[in-house]
Amino acid sequence: MPQQLLGEALPGPLPEWFPRGMALLRDPSLNKGSAFTARERDVLGLSGLLPPHVSTQEEQVARVLENFRRVDTPLERFIMLQSLQDRNEALFYRVIMENPDEMMPVIYTPTVGVACQQYGHIYRSPRGLYVSAENRGQVASLLRNWPYRDARIIVVTDGERILGLGDLGANGMGIPIGKLALYTACAGVHPRRCLPVMFDIGTNNESLLEDPLYLGLRRRRLTGAEYDELMAEFLDATQEVFPGVLVQFEDFANHNAFRVLQAYRDCCPCFNDDIQGTAAVTLAGVLSALRVTNRPMRDQTFLFLGAGEAATGIADLLVSALVAEGMEEAAARRRAWMVDSRGLVVRGRLALAEHKRPYAHEHPPVDSFLEAVEALRPTAIIGVGAVPGAFSREVIETMTRLNDRPIVFALSNPTSRAECTAEQAYAWSGGQALFASGSPFDPLDLDGRRFVPRQGNNSYIFPGVGLGAVAVQASRVTDGMFMVAARVLAETVHDADLAQGSLFPALSRVREVSARIAVAVAEVAFAEELAGIECPADLGAWVEAQMYHPEYVSYVG
């Protein structure tokens, strides 16, 4: 890989491979646009191809922001930023890193949901790789078509359960692209080390199959042995073509998510963000909330709305945290309850899915979520079922009657799927709710008090976990890494954050937080003998040295 792609200045004369003229302006990893100096323009065949003024990167950022703020709709802003990423990566990431509160809701949740729904209609230029059901027997050669040999992190989805929107087929490619943009913006993983993959095995979404602009395979989803064989070929090929590459599974449906993770987690470095990343960020939010309630973990009872991969992953990590504090595992599991579309998940129910069984406890059937709150008297309710409005006024008021400071996590996204809004949680609880959400909500004033809700967003967790794993070439990604990531994240929350209702740190600190998580994850990798390098004398400095900074370098002396 060219040194400049790793953020270093090019030494000596330009190599033969270095593009010139329009080819250079069309390479987003090298293009500086109007910031090319007069000397670079002369040497690189750019004279006359650019306006005469040599811009600073700061001037370019100002221009982007001015135009961004003129655009009316989030989707149009998404398209604008996507176009910027396609022509000048360094400028794109500098804009994101310097304005995270404004930009991250556009490049990811909640706008990415709308972008995925419209993906075939707003498609501009290729990004990432498509592995389809038609590529059986050819996946390794297909991966070799990727132009950058130093891929370290792959984010892959099969598009079956995109956010809370369901089966979006190949339109789900927006998710890996967005997640990997966050890897770079939040943790400094170099964009050339990031590979988005769409595992396109069809769609059962009739509207997409009938859409003339749909870009994916027009067939029903591959299932059963055929699905498993293609997934096995894909994962084998990732390790063959990019040895040691970390694979992050994203937005798979329950019936595949658990099975695929269990099949491969001990074979290669991989994790499922919806199961493990969501669990870690939720545990961090709980630990922050307990600093306000002054009640220990062992006194908590958690009630989930939803019983899928997110709920199970969160519950498993909460149980591990309780066990770490000395509670027996069986007793710890009884602290977590789940409500699905059929009511409270109980042991006597017939035909329980395997992943629900550990949280199916002895209890009479309960039909509604409100009745479950009344019966179980939870200290925390956690919404991960994508049932909008499910945390009704009656639910919040009941939680407040049962608890001085009820923990209310409405984690489903995009915003249209949120169980309640921040304003509802605070207003209906008289300002007592300890609230976090999956989508962003604006600060608000209530009864003379300022509330600043923050997202319980996986972007606080997975970038740091991935950075730590690849920095030390970890051969596996373990539950211990997510446990330590959650604890580190909670430790970064200041008392001033808690005083305004914020259970997570400001997004402006996310790179600092990710670096701390990465160091802690790397320490776990060494402790568990999973690291592929010798432990550096200064692990923190080693991790920092891996982080990309979107600054222009000089191409000519």
Catalytic residue IDs: 108, 179
Dist. CA 544–CA 547, nearest whole Å: 5
What's the chain's Rg over C-alpha atoms?
24
Could you tell me the two tokens for 142?
């297909």
- With beta carbons less than 8 A apart as the criterion, state whether 223 and 193 touch: no
User: Residues in the chain, how many?
Assistant: 557
Other Cβ atoms less than 10 A from the Cβ of 556: the count is: 14
Describe the crossing of helices 278-293 and 309-324 by its angle, rounded to 10 degrees. Answer: 50
- Residues 208/213/217/222 CA torsion (nearest 10 deg): -10
- With beta carbons less than 8 A apart as the criterion, state whether 546 and 467 touch: yes
Name the one residue in this structure whose structure tokens are 């290729």. 126
What does DSSP assign to residue 456?
-
- With beta carbons less than 8 A apart as the criterion, state whether 524 and 480 touch: yes
Dist. CA 192–CA 184, nearest whole Å: 10
Name the one residue in this structure whose structure tokens are 């998940």. 345
Q: Coil, strand or helix: which one is 136?
A: coil
Phi and psi at residue 338, in whole multiples of 5°? -135, 140
Phi and psi at residue 125, in whole multiples of 5°? -150, 155
- With beta carbons less than 8 A apart as the criterion, state whether 546 and 471 touch: yes
Chain centre to alpha carbon of residue 311: 16
Dist. CA 487–CA 374, nearest whole Å: 31
Among 203, 310, 309, 316, smallest CA distance to 256 is for 309
Per DSSP, what are the bridge partners of residue 129? 197
Cα→Cα distances 380→283, 305, 361, 399, 409, Å: 12, 11, 18, 8, 8
Indicate the residue type of 221. R
DSSP 164-190: TTB--GGGGGHHHHHHHHHHHHHH---
Describe the crossing of helices 510-527 and 462-471 by its angle, rounded to 10 degrees. Answer: 50
Q: Coil, strand or helix: which one is 543?
A: helix
Phi and psi at residue 260, in whole multiples of 5°? -65, -45
Residue 136, C-beta contacts closer than 8 angstroms, at least 6 positions apart: 229, 230, 233
Indicate the residue type of 209. L
Q: Coil, strand or helix: which one is 310?
A: helix
